[in-house]
Amino acid sequence: MTARSLMVEPVAGALGAEVSGVDLSGPLDDATVAAIRRAWLEHGVIFFRDQDLPPTAFLAFAQRFGEPIEYPFVKGLPEAPEIIPVLKQADERVNFGGIWHSDTAYLDIPPMASMLIARDVPPAGGDTLFASMYLAYEALSDGMKRLLEGLRGINSSASADVSKTREDRMKDSARADARQEYVATHPIVRTHPETGRKALYVNVAHTVGIEGLTRDESAPLLCYLYQHQIKPEFTCRFRWRPRSIAFWDNRCVQHNAVNDYQGHRRLMHRVTLAGDKPR
């Protein structure tokens, strides 16, 4: 497979592109990997269709782009601990990740990227929404940008809304070594280390306050940012099929798994890649 066979087609004006012309199960030369990375950096999230990647092959593909890391709360697959099942059973009501967020922003060094591959999807529904935090930041007024400069968000894994989205998996596959709570502070506006662009880095699932302010003082500003950053013009939507892959940049993209498929099972496999300390 060579880079020249790749086709990259944007799926929305804000972010997202579908990449075709590549079989990810076969050997990928360095030029092809570099071309995929360029598309990912440009579009924030990229999608692949009809990729036959069992867990070990999915992990090997992810390793071409970074170092896979384990999720702190839920056990990974026996054959690949870095891969966690993102599962909702047909009888469950709450879905894993069904809230706008950037993955594990409560870690001191949150992940650079996440990859998701669809194993079992409902006949309809279960789409994932993505939002560009570049555009969310760039659309702010100059006054708001000045206000946010230097502020740091407090991020916690114990936020009630996000804790609820993993309750079902904690019942059957919780990690024995998980802490009760992970807390980290990060800049509310971070600079992407590869593109140099600024992005909002707060999310309703994890950001619980602003350093140096009380919860009551933080709340109005954070609530405004939570509503602003998911405006439709900053988003794209991906409809899953079995063997589809989404690969997104956690440093500048948020996502939300839509919970509109009650009575159906949905199973995905997820890998996250080690990142850098937000600055």
Report residue 17: phi and psi, to 5°: -155, 145
Residue 52, judged by CB atoms within 10 A of its CB (0-12, 13-18, 19+), counts as: exposed
Long-range CB contacts (within 8 A, 24+) of 34-38: 34/3, 35/3, 35/6, 36/6, 36/65, 37/65
- Residue 170, C-beta contacts closer than 8 angstroms, at least 6 positions apart: 73, 74
Q: Which amino acid is at 250?
A: N
Positions marked active-site: 101, 103, 255, 270
CA atoms of 201 and 192, how far apart (whole Å): 11
